[in-house]
Structure 1
Amino acid sequence: MSFMKTLAAAAVLLTFALPAFAHDGLKITDAYARSSGPSAKSGAAFMVIENHTEADDRLIGASTTAAKLVELHTHKETGDGVMQMLRVDEGFAIPAKGEHALARGGDHVMLMGLTAPMAQGDIITVTLTFEKAGEMIVEVPVDLQREDMPAMPMNHGTGHGTGHGAMQAMPSN
């Protein structure tokens, strides 16, 4: 019986390791989500969006049951070396035959009001909404141990109206 459990676990891991495809030639790779700790009220999802079509597209929204509020965000330097997080209402351009990375310290899917703590290895389902391709459902693994960006000071100001100015910066480890 343990062989069957091992085989089933391997199948699940392989499923999540494979990239997701949308019906219109978009491909999601290297997706993961994280929060700053078990008591965090917010987290973020990151991924690379590849556009294998001849037409530009745009990520214009995202949703998940893992959070009460989901927004597209980016970071902008305030001029004094501090990074401020801002909501991006217009979304993110995904160029034809190109890609756009949602990465720590840059563009990302912000998850506010988490409905449950994010634990290493959990999977959250995120629905991405594209201007042309429509909706795409992506299974995003939680990876709290990933180190792909050096830590940087962040000021999560309230200039974008979401009221999460007191949110903790996500650590790089």
Structure 2
Amino acid sequence: MLSTRDLVYCALFAAMVAALGMVPPIPLGFLPVPVTAQTLGVMLAGILLGAKRGGIALVLFLLLVAAGLPLLAGGRGGIGVLMGPTAGFVLAWPVGAVVAGLIAERLGTGARPIPLFLAAAAGGILVVYAGGIPWLWLVAGLPLEKAAMGSLAFIPGDLIKAGVAAATAAAVRRAGVLPAHA
């Protein structure tokens, strides 16, 4: 059972992911997937809220997108977006937050940036790519090798986002702003 405080945190982090969608997406041209800031929110939700609350925050976000709210980067939303070429990445966000949260919880990361970075990267990069690359292959009709190789272009930016998430989470934890994982 979630407490009122847990529900508020989930809603707050869903709103944060939506706010990160206001950063204009950067199209790469060779893939139908733009660079966005929203995976930073996935990483932060997992490593700050923990697996359960982080996953719920991202499920809430996806429900709002499915309802048609234009919360994805570039002002996109609706069921059509969740069936398009970028959907595999987006649909993997709750799982990514759960994995980041589980790793952070298991490592007992506290305010240590390196374990927080590893948790953020595992959930926000590995898991999200594991959902997105096969989806590009199946839905966009890209050869699997091209989808995988094209996704390599995102790794430097995603590693920077994992670093920002780890530094932010470490600072938040040192300040004692959020309670321990549920």
Give the TM-score of the pair, scaled to structure 1: 0.25
Larger Rg: 1
The structure with the largest helix share of the pair is: 2
Give the TM-score of the pair, scaled to structure 2: 0.24
The structure with the largest strand share of the pair is: 1
